[in-house]
Amino acid sequence: MADHGWPGAGLVTAAQHGDVEALTALVYGSYPHVRRFAHSLCATPQDAEDAAQEAVIILYRKIGMLRASGALASWMFRIVRNECLRRTRALLHRAPATDPVPPGTAPGATARSAEEDTLLRLEAERVAAAVAALPADQRQVLVMRDIQGLPGRTVADRLGLSTAAMKSRLHRARSAVREALSEEGNR
């Protein structure tokens, strides 16, 4: 199957001016590129599919907001990156349903302050950004193992890896996140 380039500037301009056929061709022509990028960036294949679909929906709805018709690829990639990052943050913010006490508080203690909530949210965003910056193979292992809480053997099986290869990727991913967070903290 040949790899076709992005739709041309003429098609983008026509779509911006309300040409329904041009808009349809633009969505279909962009989707393979958007999908490929999402799979390289998102933590899971399901998140990648959802992010790619969300990106083409945004393209469909907001094509008129694109300033330069030649900037379609960078605009779409930014949308996909933001969607993948949002999905990673959502995974980090989910608290277990069985934990009635907020993390970091003892039973019977008072609730966290707004300042503590803000600091926790900022820290989660730092972690999410560090995870999103990982290479796809490391990010997948880290998210499946540490965020989704899947057993190591299950992660290895789902990714078609040996347990040793999965552990190696997980170690490299954890080290990279730790290093990114310590570098950011030292700035």
84-138 confidence digits (pLDDT tens): 888 877 766 664 444 445 555 555 555 666 767 666 667 777 787 888 888 988 9
Q: Which two tokens stand for residue 72?
A: 């379609």
Q: Tell me the C-alpha distance between 179 and 176, whole Å.
A: 5
**What is this structure's pTM?**
0.49
